[in-house]
Amino acid sequence: MTYKKRLSLLIGLDSVIVLTAIYLSYFTFHPYLNIFTAPALLLSSITLLLAHHFYSSIYSLYKKAWEYASVGELFIIGKVVTLTIITLAVVQSIFIGEIYLRVLMITWMMHVILIGGSRFSWRIYRDAFLRKSKDKKRTLIIGAGAAGTMVARQLLQNHEADLHPVAFVDDDVKKQRLDILGIPVVGGKEQIEDVVKDYEIDNIIIAIPSLSRKDLNEIFEECSKTKVKPYILPMIEDILLGKVSVNQFREVQVEDLLGREPVELDMESISESITGKTVLVTGAGGSIGSEICRQISKFSPKTLLLLGHGENSIYKIDMELRKQYSENFELLPIIADVQDRDRIFSVMETFKPDVVYHAAAHKHVPLMEYNPVEAVKNNIIGTKNVADAADHASVKTFVLVSTDKAVNPTNVMGSTKRVAEMVIQDLSQRSATKFVAVRFGNVLGSRGSVIPLFKRQIQTGGPVTVTHPEMTRYFMTIPEASRLVIQAGTLARGGEIFVLDMGEPVKIVDLAKNIIKLSGYKVDEIGIKFTGIRPGEKMYEELLNENEVHKDAIYPKIHIGKTSTLYMEEVYEIIENYTMDTELLRTKLLDLANNRVGEKERVSVAN
């Protein structure tokens, strides 16, 4: 129905209601009155009709979407009717000299009932019939607060939604046994399993934006006892900003269940070092490198150089950023290998970046155990090439992406990353460039992480393979890791190793169980198989060894390593003779990274 037709219909309907109300009121108290010729009645009818349409226009009564009517609309109806009756009383007093109080009271009551009934009947019809015309999923909403109520109202009002809320669960005992929007609050989270069974629940929505990770884990554990997959409300900020609607729920992700709160860094302080500057990211097509590029793009650098060896990955991140930021700054994809020293020097000399984020590396632990030569070439020599080129081109800040596996390493990959840290720490002592490293734990969803492997194993029916039941790791999200790397660049003085306070380590077997449950299965259905520790793996990871830890954080949840000792003679020996026997190379790397090189000449790092 067009707006004009709808307006005409409502004006006509209200006119009939107004006249019916006044005529019935007069007839109630004057049954023998000729209602068609009585002057008082004619004056009252005309006044009531004109006043009603006037106040309806003032308060936009004809513009309301009555299929979504609520208490607010009922209040407006009451205000319009009351003002209309008061106007009629004034007219009667002036032109008739008498106010028919009982007639006005009955007219007011009938007016409200008929106007309100005509409006709310559409919502009642829609809720009672149109909503039931579709096969909707019976939905349990966890959280009967403001967010849960908002979700329930949205689902009830949107007859296109395929979810129908039938019950709330909330730990607040004051809300239990109450009805909200006609939906009962049937208990706390401990009753989730029984509620799902008793109410034949098809869908669960977790609608508590302020929920801590600990509480979310507890709720998820209760939900996992059922066969119903839980969904979670989008971030309330995204709803308010219009990025998503309240009924765009998402699946619970493993990131939501980590036993730690995400670290939110002060991104505003970063803009000064990035906005309007030339920034180079190596390994820009990788998991961390590409996310660093996304984060940097938000601050509008002058030029962003995407350097990587794999053309497909560089093409993807270039196209992604170009689509969103092409008008904000210059994007330059550069295909280059960090092992090619001349090429890296040429790139640095040509573009003279202000900041370099070095994320290019081989990071797969078992693969590097079998290929130590390639680990040295990429992680050590590649780092030295990029660092030397940055020094030669007078780059202001150089940030090396490192790893917790560089602490007391038991594998080739961790050893090469620790030696790479030594290279930049040594260079920082004689360069105007500020060289720093950033260590963090395993990154969720990155290439080579356990999560994609677990998901593939679940898709094929299992079992999920875990090396050892007691193995633990630190975990963080890709955006967190990338923000830490960028933040470190603003804190750099030269030679530091920055470390994120990553909370408590997570057992890999617990992570596997959560991913199985998130996939909609029970642990027994998929199964977990322990395969034994692989070459080079540790039972647990460390972020700083006991000799490196500064007690106080330099920045909220960011620590800085103490002065350590470098063995540069051994570093250069490995760089010059990396093609030595594989076992000998592995031994030398582990000895060097773990400070087991004897009483050789040592170079101390000045912090």
Q: Is residue 96 in some structural domain?
A: yes
- Higher-confidence residue of 157 and 13: namely 13
The average pLDDT across 135-149 equals 85
Q: Express each pLDDT in 92-106 by its tens digit.
A: 888 888 788 888 888
- Higher-confidence residue of 118 and 194: namely 194
The average pLDDT across 292-306 equals 93
| Whole-number pLDDT of residue 490 | 84
| Mean pLDDT, rounded, of the chain | 81
Indicate the range of 166-180, 449-463, 540-554 predicted with least confidence: 540-554
| Whole-number pLDDT of residue 331 | 94
Domain residue limits at 226 = 134-252
Look up residue 173 and give its DSSP letter.
Answer: T
- Residue 155 and residue 8 share a domain: no
Q: Is residue 466 in some structural domain?
A: no
CA proximity to 544, closest of 589, 576, 498, 593: 498
- Residue 496 and residue 382 share a domain: yes
- Residue 381 and residue 300 share a domain: yes
- Residue 406 and residue 422 share a domain: yes
Rounded alpha-carbon distances, angstroms, from residue 208 to 73, 214, 329, 515 = 28, 13, 39, 22
| Whole-number pLDDT of residue 602 | 45
The average pLDDT across 232-241 equals 58
Q: Is residue 412 in some structural domain?
A: yes
Q: Is residue 513 in some structural domain?
A: no
Residue 135 has pLDDT above 70, yes or no: no
- Residue 142 and residue 112 share a domain: no
CA proximity to 92, closest of 104, 83, 82, 106: 104
Indicate the range of 16-20, 442-446, 546-550, 579-583 predicted with least confidence: 546-550
Share of the chain above pLDDT 90, in %: 25
| CA atoms of 402 and 541, how far apart (whole Å) | 13
CA proximity to 554, closest of 436, 475, 432: 436
The average pLDDT across 224-247 equals 65
Rounded alpha-carbon distances, angstroms, from residue 428 to 306, 384, 398 = 24, 12, 10
| CA atoms of 496 and 561, how far apart (whole Å) | 6
- Residue 154 and residue 119 share a domain: no
**Domain limit, last residue, from 252, 285, 313:** 252
The average pLDDT across 207-231 equals 82
Q: Is residue 264 in some structural domain?
A: no
Q: Is residue 340 in some structural domain?
A: yes
| Whole-number pLDDT of residue 564 | 65
Domain count, the chain: 3
DSSP result, 528-564: EEE--PPTT--SS--SS-TTT--SS-SBTTEEE----
| Whole-number pLDDT of residue 600 | 45
- Residue 195 and residue 317 share a domain: no
- Residue 419 and residue 351 share a domain: yes
CATH of the domain at 405: 3.40.50.720
150-159, 429-438, 536-545, range with greatest mean pLDDT: 429-438
Amino acid letter, residue 417? K
Please, what's the largest Cα pairwise distance for the chain?
122
| CA atoms of 592 and 418, how far apart (whole Å) | 9
| Whole-number pLDDT of residue 380 | 96
Catalytic annotation, residues: 405
- Residue 217 and residue 95 share a domain: no
> How many residues in the chain?
607
Q: Is residue 470 in some structural domain?
A: no
Residue 267 has pLDDT above 70, yes or no: no
According to DSSP, the β-strands at 183-184 and 303-308 are unpaired
Residue 607 has pLDDT above 60, yes or no: no
Contact 385, 427 (CB under 8 A): no
- Residue 212 and residue 82 share a domain: no
Q: Express each pLDDT in 75-92 by its tens digit.
A: 888 888 899 999 989 988
- pLDDT level of residue 599 (50, 70, 90 thresholds): very low
Q: Is residue 294 in some structural domain?
A: yes
**Domain limit, last residue, from 130, 157, 190:** 130
pTM over 0.75, yes/no: no
Indicate the range of 60-74, 463-477, 529-543 predicted with least confidence: 60-74
Q: Express each pLDDT in 331-369 by its tens digit.
A: 999 999 999 999 999 999 999 999 999 999 998 888 999
- pLDDT level of residue 604 (50, 70, 90 thresholds): very low
| Whole-number pLDDT of residue 241 | 47
- Higher-confidence residue of 480 and 160: namely 480
- Residue 148 and residue 126 share a domain: no
- pLDDT level of residue 255 (50, 70, 90 thresholds): low
Residue 471 has pLDDT above 80, yes or no: yes
The average pLDDT across 116-132 equals 65
| CA atoms of 455 and 437, how far apart (whole Å) | 32
Q: Which residues contact 349 (CB under 8 A, 6 or more apart)?
A: 389, 392, 393
Helix axes 382-392, 412-428, angle to 10 degrees: 20
Residue 328 has pLDDT above 80, yes or no: yes
The average pLDDT across 204-220 equals 81
- Residue 587 and residue 489 share a domain: yes
Contact 283, 289 (CB under 8 A): yes
**Domain limit, last residue, from 86, 113, 130:** 130
| Whole-number pLDDT of residue 338 | 96
